[in-house]
Amino acid sequence: MDEQLLHTPLFNLHQELGAKMVPFAGYAMPVQYPQGVKKEHLHTREAAGLFDVSHMGQVFVSGENAEQDLESILPVDLAELPVGRQRYALFTAENGGILDDLMITRMPDGFYLVVNAACKEQDIAHLRSHLSESTQLEVLEQRALIALQGPQAAAVLAKLEPAVADMVFMDNRPTQLAGIDCIVSRSGYTGEDGYEISVPADQVEALCRTLLDYPEVQPIGLGARDSLRLEAGLCLYGHDIDRTTTPAEASLIWAISPARRNGGARAGSFPGADLILEQIRDKSATRKRVGLIGEGRAPIREGTSLLDSDGNIVGQVTSGTFGPSAGQPVAMGYVETAFSAVDTALFAEVRGKQLPVTVSKMPFVPQRYYRGE
């Protein structure tokens, strides 16, 4: 493994657990453990999986102008975001493209952001260039990030702190776990109920060992994380969304808060607003991100061309795998808008063969976020 790769605070634990390590976003990360990707995927769907996501960027923004400064680069309604609640957000570019997707939480004294690993340096520079002098930005370099995901995640974590069971999807609060000061959100990127937990870097291994002592919990690598998020219909930045895709094309209009759309209380005033709001208003996007289901068992991989019945290329796959829970090949990609309706029949060109695929609703398996009784 390249010695120049960065290590998360859990690197030694991954090696101890027998992980296969691979380069990812500049880090040495576990792609799988000895049980393998499929078993890790299914275990997360059935019990609880523990993920190292410490390569992600964690940032804290504060100051009396923090809300206004952040709304100038994010098309979300922060004014109405309550303390202790988080929201999915996008950094948009002047051309209407997506610079990154992220999570943002209002804390009592500022805003806590989690950004993608591959984009974190550019995101931090982007933030610094748009924040006023009175707004402070702190990169939380001494914090690790883990995720506990699956239908038994809440019961396990509640053994360490019963109050986490009362949290609902997108709640985020400072919480002690096993005597460790954490920031706990009830969220994740698998489609399952679960938590993301920000932990001091020097204490994260101890917390992970505590969690792994529970028989319900197993370590899960990047391979299963990818198949889980794809079955849940969730985008991976750099694959399904990037600087060339707009929110309307990416079927992420819901991430543009109503207050920031045409007719809203604070419409526009974010990068690319004119084009983005025009595409929403006029439904003028010429392509759309869609779900795709294949016949048989052959997975349809990223980069595969999508054809209409006459053999014309009408789109391309951006993510694809055989879904262990879905029991069939699942993919997402972009197609010309005329071919984006659910149940549209297309063909994927795989090694010279045209395999039938059908445009499908996403997610491919039901999302099970906990929203309260």
pLDDT single digits (tens) 46-91: 999 999 999 999 999 999 999 999 999 999 999 999 999 999 999 9
Residue for token pair 């951006």 = 318
Q: What is the pLDDT of residue 336?
A: 98
- Whether 199 is in a domain gets the answer yes
Asked, for residue 274, whether it belongs to a domain, the answer is: no
**pLDDT for position 3:** 65
**Mean pLDDT in residue range 224-228:** 98
- pLDDT given at position 1: 55
Average pLDDT of span 254-271: 97
Q: Are the beta carbons of 214 and 159 closer than 8 angstroms?
A: yes
> Does 65 map to a domain?
no
Residue range 235-260: average pLDDT?
98
The CATH number given to whatever domain includes residue 305 is 2.40.30.110
Domain stop point among 208, 231, 254: 231
Do 38 and 183 share a domain, yes or no?
yes
Average pLDDT over residues 256-266: 97
11 Cβ partners below 8 Å, 6+ apart?
Answer: 21, 28
Say yes or no to pLDDT of 2 above 60: no
> Which CATH number does the domain housing residue 158 bear?
3.30.1360.120
Tell whether 354 is covered by a domain: yes
Residues 214, 312: one domain?
Answer: no
User: Are residues 223 and 148 both part of a single domain?
Assistant: yes
| Residue 111 belongs to some domain of the structure | no
Whether residues 184 and 48 share a domain: the answer is yes
What is the C-alpha to C-alpha distance for residues 100 and 122, in angstroms, rounded to an integer? 9
The verdict on pTM exceeding 0.95 is yes
Same domain as 36, residue 169: yes
Mean of pLDDT over the chain: 97
The residue-averaged pLDDT of 235-262 equals 98
**Inter-axis angle of helices 37-46 and 222-231, to 10 degrees?**
60
Residue partners of 155: CB distance under 8 A and separation at least 6: 165, 216
**Domain co-membership, 154 together with 33:** yes
Asked if the structure places residue 223 within a domain, the reply is: yes
Strand ranges in 126-231 using DSSP code E only, listed in sequence order: 136-139, 143-149, 172-177, 180-185, 194-200, 217-219
Residue 307 reports pLDDT greater than 80:
yes
Is residue 157 assigned to a domain?
Answer: yes
Beta strands in 108-154 (DSSP E): 110-115, 136-139, 143-149
What total of structural domains would you count in the chain?
Answer: 2
Torsion angle of alpha carbons 236, 242, 245, 249, nearest 10°?
10
202 and 340 assigned to the same domain: no
Q: Are residues 213 and 312 in the same domain?
A: no
Q: Quote the CA–CA distance of 335 and 355 in Å, as a whole number.
A: 16
| Strands 217-219 and 48-52, sheet pairing | parallel
Confidence of residue 199 (pLDDT cuts 50, 70, 90): very high
- Domain of residue 23 covers 11-52+142-231
In this prediction, residue 351 has a pLDDT band, given cuts at 50, 70 and 90, of confident
The yes-or-no verdict on residue 93 having pLDDT over 60 is yes
